[in-house]
Structure 1
């Protein structure tokens, strides 16, 4: 097929020899099957901000660090350079996340190169050798649904142990590869320690999976892996191979508002007394 304009720089650099076909078009990128020497890989071409249906909500970008102070200031001010820097940072998140997760033992596509806003990575194939189908394209038995759900629960635990929350995990970004499930689409990945929305995002990811697999195994939506996992993470007890129950006891005890208010009043009185004493000392010094 004709080489897309965004892939032309990779051809010129010798990173890509041939564009075989378009694999898919998503809310944030176009993916092509390409030949790199004798290897068949994917080229993920990220769309420009004005062409994406997925927007960079502050819920996702909160806590992302920029080492270059000039770039950070430009991003805060929203200058032209800052907007470009923000785009570059958004695109690089997926590359960084893929490398961290692969090192942690999470099954994600292997990244090979990132050049001019295009990510070259592994083409995940199915049992027939063709591009692997997404999870939502499969008809599952109850037994298969339970097994796949458990696999993804374990993968989410490994991700969190590596400090990452997917943030948009569902049946649409999990591939059924020949060697098992593969998690994809990570440009919106969240730093669990730096983002205040990490807990709610993790719980939503797990609820999405439970709802999907619940179509085939009706008992799964009643599980609460998200809150159980986060509780263990927050207490420093989460380990990659930890055994989970799928249940979480929520604290339904009502807050003791009266007790809290008494503490607040006491603190206010203490501060007022401290300020009064400082004024008296200041007046004595002047006199």
Structure 2
């Protein structure tokens, strides 16, 4: 196919040789299958972020570093330069997270290069060589659901031990490759130690996995892996090979009703933003 202008720049630079086909078009990016020499990989072409609310951006980008104070001021004021800087930081977050997690052995697409708003990375495939489907598009037996749930919990552990929380993990951004699940879409990844929302996001990620696979194996639904994982992390006891029980008893402390209400409101707002990104109607 004829290369779109953003990808033609990569062809001109010799970073890729040809654009084979478009794989996906979403609100945040378009993904293409491209050829580099004899290797077939994919190119994620980021769009300008026009569908994220300011509140969501603040939650996810809390404590992220910017190059200089001018950028910080412009981002705070919402100027054109500030919006461009914020979008560049959003894209860089995914690139940085991919390199960091790939080095930690997490099952993510291996990144190759990032040039002018285009991320080159591995194409995740099935045994037949086709592009891997999302979990949401695949039916599971109870046994397969249990196995893949356990695999993904292990990946969540590896991510957290590497200091990263996905922040939007669900059946819509996990692909089922020939050798198991692969986690994708990380522009909203947050620093576990530096973001005040990290705990809530980690719990939501783990709950999303439980709820999805629990459709196929209801025995997973009562598990409490999220609170167990975070409690071990806070105590400095979490390791990639930590054996989890799925059991957790919360400490008996006075209930902060105002805090609970804030958590509910935040969860609703984030769910609405996630549905918007996925092109789904509000819940």
TMscore range, shorter length: 0.7 to 0.9
Cα distance in 1 for partners of 2:31, 2:52 equals: 16
Checking the alignment, whether the CA contact within 8 Å between 1:113 and 1:120 is kept in structure 2 is: yes
| Structure 1 gap segments, 5+ residues each | 256-287
Q: Counterparts of 2:76 and 2:181 in 1: how far apart (Å)? A: 38
> Which structure ranks higher in relative contact order (CA pairs < 8 Å, sequence separation ≥ 6)?
2
Question: Taking structure 1 as the reference length, what is the TM-score of the superposition?
Answer: 0.85
1:216-244 deviation line (CA, Å, top 9, x unaligned)? 10011211111110111111111110011
What RMSD, in angstroms, separates the aligned Cα atoms of the two structures?
1.5
SS at match of 1:93: helix
How many Å apart are 1:54 and its aligned residue?
Answer: 7.8
Deviations 1:120-145 (A, max 9, x none): 10001111111111111111110100
CA distance in 1, matches of 2:9, 2:173: 28
**1:85 is paired with a residue of what secondary structure?**
helix
TM-score (norm 2): 0.86
Indicate the residue corresponding to 1:233 in structure 2: 233
Does residue 26 (structure 1) correspond to residue 26 (structure 2)? The answer is yes
> What SS does the aligned partner of 1:22 have?
strand
Counterpart residue number, 2:140: 140
The secondary structure found in structure 1 opposite 2:231 is: helix
Check if 1:72 corresponds to 2:72.
Answer: yes
CA distance in 2, matches of 1:254, 1:33: 54
CA contact (8 A) 1:71 1:85 kept: yes
Match of 1:40 in 2: 40
Deviation per residue, 1:130-173 (Å, 9 max, x gap): 11111111111101000000000010010000000000001111
Q: Can you give the 5+ residue segments of structure 2 that lack an aligned partner in the other structure? A: 256-283
| Mapped contact 1:132–1:177 kept (Cα < 8 A) | yes
**What is the match of residue 114 of structure 1?**
114
Q: Any idea what the Cα deviations from partners look like across 1:238-265, whole Å, max 9, x if unmatched?
A: 111001111110123447xxxxxxxxxx
